[in-house]
Amino acid sequence: MKGSQIFLDHIKGRDIAALTVDGRLEDLFVESDGMRIGAIYRAVAQRPMKGQGGIFLTLPDGTGYLRQAKGIAPGQNLFVQVTGVPESGKAIPVTTKLLFKSRYVIVTPDAPGVNLSRSIRDDDERDRILEYIVDAVSPLDYGLILRSACAKASEADVIEDAKAMIATVSALLADQDQTPCLLLDGASPHELAWQEWSQEAVVDRSENCLEFSGVLDQIEALDRDDIHVGQTGYTIEQTRALIAVDVNSSGDTSLAAGLKANLAMARDLPRQLRLRGLGGQIAIDPAPMAKKDRKIFDSTLKAAFRQDTVQTHIHGWTAMGLVELQRARTRVPFVSLT
């Protein structure tokens, strides 16, 4: 089917939200067994890590780690938010810079002011949105970011969403208890779909919609390391230290086989990393190609990641001919459904 479709389903007790564009799986949220990213806790400071600048925190579900410990004393109570997925055996990464995210707005208690998404470029539209939202929520004690979804939403919907989020923030920050506890859970997959996928789409909530639509087959393919792109392919393997991406030109014996395989991988890699929830250090081993072709490969790779929603830094080539990337761990790794 042409166009965008959103599927909201449940498989083996897990909530699943899938986004397809022209029938191809583009984004995916699957309920995990661990702590949700974005969850907000009341934590208690433990001991600072000398020489590292961080501090461990007591959470109700384990131990958190805050990178910036300046001015924090052991025993102090803090509001913290989970920022990513911890590596095996490590503490949960958290921050004190809270973000309260909804479909139309993001409330930032520590960063006052009203800002508008850069993707809304029409000056008249920007002025219109800013005018009605400022009138509706003033005086405002917190910062407010108006998301790109505001451009196609009614004024009433945006104002209602903003007021609801501001009320949530006020109630949470007014809490005066002292024991570690969960104050606001992170969004479920279905809630994330509502927050993050603002494009026009047909929404299917029917039972077993993923299976009947054939999308479930694409999701189950994420269990395999091998990925086929046209006549070429590549593999993604996750190790404890890094994610290894190996490109091969398959049976193509033409002079430009390596370049074609590398470009196909570059265009597809952000989508695969997004669907699999992978982040951290990434090393790409491209198929053999002439050094003069590296420029077009670099441009293609940068353009592909520029369209992605997860921040990724491309560090360039190593002496061994590998390409190094660093990707934020802002997604839960894919959970197998088989």
What are the structure tokens assigned to 175, written together?
Answer: 């809490």
Q: How many domains does the chain have?
A: 4
307 occurs within a structural domain:
yes
Per-residue pLDDT of the chain (338 residues; tens, 9 = 90+): 689 999 999 998 899 999 999 999 999 999 988 789 999 999 999 988 876 778 999 999 889 999 887 888 889 999 999 998 887 778 899 999 999 999 999 999 999 999 999 989 999 999 999 999 999 998 888 999 999 999 999 999 999 999 999 999 999 998 888 889 999 999 999 999 999 999 899 999 999 999 999 999 999 999 999 998 877 899 999 988 899 999 987 776 677 889 999 999 999 999 999 999 999 999 999 999 999 999 999 999 999 999 998 999 999 999 999 999 999 988 888 988 87
* Residue 84 and residue 105 in one domain: no
**Beta strands 105-108 and 100-101, pairing class:** antiparallel
Which of 169, 195, 185, 181 has the alpha carbon at shortest distance from 39?
185
pTM > 0.85:
yes
* Residue 265 and residue 318 in one domain: yes
What three-state secondary structure class fits 98? Answer: coil
What CATH number should be reported for the domain holding residue 312? 3.30.1370
210 occurs within a structural domain:
yes
220 occurs within a structural domain:
no
Q: How far is CA 175 from CA 41, 57, 171, 172, 222, in A?
A: 11, 19, 7, 6, 42
Q: Cite the DSSP H helix spans in 277-336.
A: 294-306
* Residue 112 and residue 69 in one domain: no
* Residue 62 and residue 106 in one domain: no
* Residue 151 and residue 199 in one domain: no
Q: In terms of residue numbers, what domain contains 44?
A: 40-97
- The string of pLDDT tens digits covering residues 221-233 is 999 999 988 778 9
* Residue 91 and residue 110 in one domain: no
The Cα 116–Cα 299 span in angstroms is 29
- The string of pLDDT tens digits covering residues 291-332 is 999 999 999 999 999 999 899 999 999 999 999 999 998 888
74 occurs within a structural domain:
yes
166 occurs within a structural domain:
yes
